Chains A and B, each alone.
Chain A
Amino acid sequence: MKTIDYPIYNEKLIVNKLSNGLTVYIQPKPGFNKTTAVLGVNYGAIDRTFQVNGKKITQPAGIAHFLEHKMFDKQDYDVFELFNKTGARSNAYTSFTTTNYLFSTAESLKENLDILLDFVQIPYFTQEKVQREKGIIDQEINMYQNDLDNQAYFKIIANLYPDSALATDIAGTVKTVDQIQLADVQLAYNTFYRPENMSLFITGKVDPQLAMTWIVNNQKNKATPQPQVLQRENNFVENSQEHVEQFKMDVARPKVTIGLRGNDLVPTGRDGLKYEIAISIMFDLFFSENAVEYDKLYRDEIIDDSFSWEFENERSFHFAVLGCDTKKPADFIKQMHSIIRMIPNQIVNKTSEFILQKNELLGNYIEMMDSEEAISGQFDGFIGEPVTIYDEVAILNELTLADVTAIAKSFLSKATMQEVMIRAADND
């Protein structure tokens, strides 16, 4: 067991890797009433092709998300009912690379920790239950289909990473979900839901020593799975020629999304986080409300408050997506290109803007420190070393404009781009 102190913020993190491989992180928040716990599995929507003990497996799209749904459904009860007896709230979500199960409660922490660990570690799958889940998931997929921003987002990722596991929505499609059978669910579970592939993060009202004892005792009763040799296969083929793909849908104004696929190598651990923070600052220097470039596009009515960008850096891929509703879609694409092209040369001149942006980010991190949701959401237990919000602040403080410039050049010199435009038939 190891304790990491963050004296500036009066915070600490306790880390313990248990003998079965499960890593437990506890970040107490004295004075808080509530506790939040997240059990993360290093397994997400892209992990559909892999070799286990030398055997190559390919599974239908949406399997990780399907498994997440199925974990709650037990022989004669739903896991929500167990949490509810204590008044806890629970939820789960699946991303491209992780699956997370969480609860928050002001009461009965031990009982809820046992519920969380047991329901994820003791599965109950039957053919009939697998079949029944498909109806709800179809409705969930249709709900995402109804959300045009969501559609634009997944279409641009599909074009950045054609014919790959990233090219399908996290939930899969009605067709691929229909292909999922009991054996697929069991195989995915046995391959990925293993203690060494999971992490438990707890924050809020918690006595770390006591909670650690509860968790160790809970894990003692569980069999350790047989060792296996796992190789994930996420080989992305090269991007096709840059083009604007158009879709006709019923939208008020055209929705344009621009994607940048990173083709450079991102370091792991803290250096990876430094890369992420640097790229975020790079985009802020040109595309946040603080930037003169943004201000000009805003005044020219090429963008408005619907403009947003995000950068995703995950296991085996990293990309940026910039999007806007605009009546001037062609101008938008042209202007964004010309700004992105000049970033490597212009960024070194933004000295005062860089200081401003660091100020802003520092404040944003301090704001997150008051929220258990933000603290646990920001935590990543799968990048080799634990990195908390407080570590991110330390990385930010050390970051120089020269670092950001170097990282921006590394990203942009190899990045490839695609565009998606959703417009109504009468938007022209």
Chain B
Amino acid sequence: MKGQRTGALRRISWTTLATQVLLWGYAAIVLFPLLLVVSSALRPTREIFKNPVGLPKSPSFDSFVRAWEQANFNVYFFNSLLITVSSVLLATAVAALASYMLGRYTFTGSRFLTAYFLAGLMLPFRLAIVPLFLLLNNMGLIDNRLGLILVYAATGIPFSIFVLSAFFRQLPRELSEAARIDGAGEFTIFGRIMLPLVRPALATVIVFQFVPLWNDFFFPLVLLRSTNKWTLPVGMTRFFGEFQTDWSTLFAGLIITTLPLILIFLLATKQIIAGLTAGIEK
């Protein structure tokens, strides 16, 4: 009896140990390169080449200044911010309006419209780049930040409607009923009563659109020509050619590009996880 119990205990502690080793081991594989980037950005390139894995002797932010000023990161950063924020706000605004109607009411065609919007979740829209390029060219929007904003906003609509219409559907109807009796119009009910109630969903939608747009490389590569309109990912391709031998600055550039995302992640971990598992979590 006693032998059996210690056997079971030993088995449990072995699996526990193996689990811990796996969990921490993989965490190290994830974190090591990220920490090394930070450490390397603070060291001069000479030092990195002598010893690639090491801590900065006298940490210096020179590399960040070089990336920011000489490598044009100030320009790219501003463009990325302008384009991403505008697209996210535009997509969220129009998606919230449409989701309200689709989530709250049934009318002729409402089912079809919902399906039509949700189909976009599965469409590989990068494959539409040739007609899109010609369309924007006809509108005079090639090499124009507005063109990119419109395209980005369009790509954000399916996911936003997917999340927001589900939220609108769940709100109790008594809320709008009371307001309607008081004579409130549809826009008032939407703006004053319903919208504030779906704030958590709005946060999810905003955060979840921000990340892929901030990181997108394909569309600005094709749609923007002048370097003074480039976003960070496109700027990065030129940067890695020009600063090939200046690793310290390269690492600083990687950090500058990623910094807003880290901030978002720290502020909105919950929304990101909710967005990733949308449709699966109970």
Binding between chains A and B: no
- Measured CB to CB, the residues of A under 8 A from B are none
